[in-house]
Copies of this chain bind each other. A is one copy, B any other.
């Protein structure tokens, strides 16, 4: 199923793991292709799938009563994606996971690997490293809401993820920043006119 190149790639992703460790994991994983616009996880689903994105981009969003969509999270290459509602809290997903681009991921069932992760110290340690880094990332996002204005948040996003903003429509970026698309448009105008002077 997997080429030698793939295996080498994952040896690198899961630094510190031996080849057998990686093979044990990969044996339980499979590749999934998701065309752009397709829903990966619908809201209400209780799924333990955990995916590593090889290519593409997934948007996590909330659908409001009135039909409006609010984007909560974007995930792309070399990141993990999973319904945290289901994996962490064992509840149905409140959100919709949708591919914004043709997406390729390596998927596995967390409930099936959990036991293995719990009993292999190298895997446990690596899992904890990944979880902790996700926590740091999330805390940093909270910081940005508490410490920065919407305009500063947008500038930070442009600065930190210049490649991502070109792949995602502004209306999704806006709600990700906690503002409306109209407001983001005004912010962009403000920035353009102030940097001109």
Q: Which residues from chain A sit less than 8 Å from chain B, CB to CB?
A: 62, 70-72, 84, 87-89, 118-119, 121, 124-125, 127-128, 131-136, 138-139, 141-143, 145-147, 175-176, 178
Beta-carbon contact of B88 and A146 below 8 Å: no
B131 touches A72 (CB 8 A): no
- Which of B124, B132, B143 is close to A88, meaning CB atoms less than 8 Å apart? B132
Q: Could you say which residues of chain B place their CB within 8 Å of the CB of A145?
A: 142, 145, 178
Known: A87-B132, A121-B121, A142-B145. 6 other contacts (CB 8 A): A72-B143, A88-B132, A118-B124, A119-B121, A124-B128, A128-B131
- Asked if A72 and B121 make an inter-chain contact with CB atoms under 8 angstroms apart, the answer reads no
Contacting pair B121 A118 (CB below 8 A): yes
**Interchain CB contact under 8 A, B146 and A178:** yes
- Complex Cα gap A70–B127 (Å): 32
Q: A72 is contacted by which of B87, B134, B146 (Cβ under 8 Å)? A: B146
* Closest 3 pairs (CB-CB, A-B): A124-B124, A138-B138, A145-B145
Q: How far is the CB of A121 from chain B (nearest CB, A)?
A: 5
A131 interface neighbour in B89, B135, B141, B146, Cβ under 8 Å: B135
Chain B residue, CB-CB nearest to A175: B146
